[in-house]
Amino acid sequence: MTRVLVIEDNRNLATGLRNNLEIEGYEVLAAADGQAGLSLARSSSPDLIILDLMLPGVDGYRVLATLREEGIDTPVLILSARGEEADKVLGFRLGADDYVAKPFGLLELLARVDALLRRASAAGSAAKLAAPVSFGDVYVDPRTHTVQRAGSAVALRPKEYDLLIALLQRRGRSRRGQNCSRRCGATRARSIAARSTRTSPSFGASSRMIHRSRATFSRCGKQDIDSSPDPP
């Protein structure tokens, strides 16, 4: 479950944020001062931090600066009543990823949280696939955008390659069709997979590596996915 750390000294606001984020499906941790927030950020590995600036003890700017100095690159959304341009510029210079001034619209805040998490997830997935990956006798090298099966090159169209990468990022787990469509920019991801598995000899039905079902879109085959392999 995606974990969000809220560092906010206003108890009512912190409770409201927790309730609404939990409704959205997030696990929420809360800290009421800067020092407690730093401790939780270090120990709990949150996926996102919502940070107030005017905190007792260590203020939000110092919390942010300390996190970045320690190499903690967790996305940080500043949520503060300090809405002047100079405040925002300082926040971004210290390493904030987004800045929302109070008072704020809840729906906009939730949308920004979702956008930051999607961006961070995409960046993390891209980093994980910087090295070659294999599953079964299929070898994918993202550095050169090449695919081999049993030592032979596989010719894939650009959208087919993007779809394969999207599935590899799930490491064997199923992925819904609309999510694949967003990931590879295709409006008919199911059709792409159907055409690829039906027409490409290298992905023949006798040893299919992409599986489809009604509820979920598809997943890479049953074999374990190995990073940094040698070409087959």
Per-residue pLDDT reduced to its tens digit, 79-126: 999 999 999 999 999 999 999 999 999 999 999 999 999 888 776 655
d(CA 11, CA 3): 19
Per-residue pLDDT reduced to its tens digit, 22-79: 999 999 999 999 999 999 999 999 999 999 999 999 999 999 999 999 999 999 999 9
In sequence order, what E strands does 65-207 have?
76-80, 98-101, 133-135, 138-141, 146-149, 152-153
Q: Which residue has the higher pLDDT, 150 or 186?
A: 150
Domains and CATH numbers, the chain: 3-127 (3.40.50.2300), 133-227 (1.10.10.10)
Residue whose token pair is 């199923």: 174
Q: What is the predicted pLDDT for the residue at 189?
A: 44
pTM of the model: 0.59
Q: What is the predicted pLDDT for the residue at 31?
A: 97
